[in-house]
Amino acid sequence: MAAKIYYNDDADLTVLSEKTVAVIGYGSQGHAHALNLRDSGVDVVVGLSENSSSRAKAEAQGLRVENVADAAAEGDIIMILTPDQVQAEVFTKDIAPHLEEGNALFFAHGFNIRFGYIEAPQGVDVAMVAPKGPGHTVRREFEAGRGVPALVAVEVDASGQAKDIALAYAKGLGATRAGVIETTFTEETESDLFGEQAVLCGGASQLIQYGFETLTEAGYQPEIAYFEVLHELKLIVDLMIEGGIAKQRWSISDTAEYGDYVSGPRVITPEVKENMKAVLADIQDGTFAKRFIEDQAAGGPEFKKLREKGESHPIEATGRELRKLFSWNSDQIDEDYTDGSVAR
C-alpha cells in the first residue's frame, strides 16, 4: 500500500493560533523546531533546566525560556526533544504533573512511547512529528523557503484533532513543503532503530573499519586505505540520494559497476541478512531498548567502553590528519564533535 503523503494544502496552521508550544530541549532538533515554529507565527516557549548551557543561546535568538516545569505548565502542546535516555525522567518529574486534559504530548522519535517508558494520562493527545534530517538542515531549509520531509503519527487521539494538530506543527516546521508521510509510533521506532544499527551507523561503520583493516593488514598505506573505504563513501551516497542505487551504478566506471555486482554479494552475504533479522528481532521485542536504558541508568559503562574502543580505531587517527589537508573540511569539524557541541 502506497504511503499517504501530506503537503502544504493538507495542513492548517491556524489550528495552532490559540495554542502555546513548549519545546523541551534546545539541541539539534530543539533549536530548529523552536525557531521555525516561532518564524511561522506560533507562540513558542523553550523549556530548559536552570543550568543548561543552551539557555543563553536560545534567549539570544529571541526565544522565551522557562524551566521545564513552567514551560510544560504553559504549553498546550509539549514537544519533548531531550535524549531518549532522559525523557522518562524529565517527563515524570517536570511534565506529567502539569498535563491537563486537552493538552498534546509530542515526540520526534517514538522510543519512549513504543517501549512503555512514558505513558500519557487520559485525555491527552500523543503524536509524533519527526523530521528526516538533522536540526541544522531543518532550520537551513526552512530559511531557504524549502523544507525537510517528516513523518507524522498519532498514538492517542483524545481530542479528535491530534492529526490536524500534528500536520499543523509539521507545516510550522516547513516539512509540508517537502512532504509528510503518515506512519505509526511502532513503525517509526522499529524501522528507525533498525536503519541506524544495521545499515546507516552500525553497518556502515563496521564495513568501513573492516575495509580499512583489510587493506592496511595487507601492507597498503593507511592514508590510501582511508581514501578508498571512507572518504569516497560520501560521493557514492550522494549519487544514491540523487537517483537511487541505479544512478550510482550508472555514474561510476564500468569496472566499478561490474565489481559491485560480482563482489558485493561476496562481502554482504545472505548470512548478513540473517544477522539483520536478529537485530530487528531484538528491537521488536524490546531487548535492545532494555539493554540501552539499563546501561544508561547505571551511568553508561558499556556505552562509554564501546565509544572509547571505536574512537581508538586506527582509521580515526589517520582521518584526523588527512582532513586537515582540505580547506573545505577544516579540523574545526573535529573540534566541534570532540567537545560535544554538535551531536551530544
Catalytically active residues, by annotation: 109
Cell digits for 34? Answer: 523552536
Cell digits for 227? Answer: 581514501
Cα within 13 Å of Cα(11), Cβ side: 27
Q: Which residues pair with 23 in a beta bridge?
A: 46, 79
The amino acid present at 177, given as its one-letter code, is R
- Residue 181 neighbours by CB distance under 10 Å: 17
Cα within 13 Å of Cα(232), Cβ side: 12
What is the H or E stretch that residue 273 is in? helix 270-284
Is the separation of the CB atoms in 161 and 103 below 8 Å? Answer: no
d(CA 229, CA 93): 46
d(CA 183, CA 320): 40
DSSP-derived secondary structure letter, 150: E
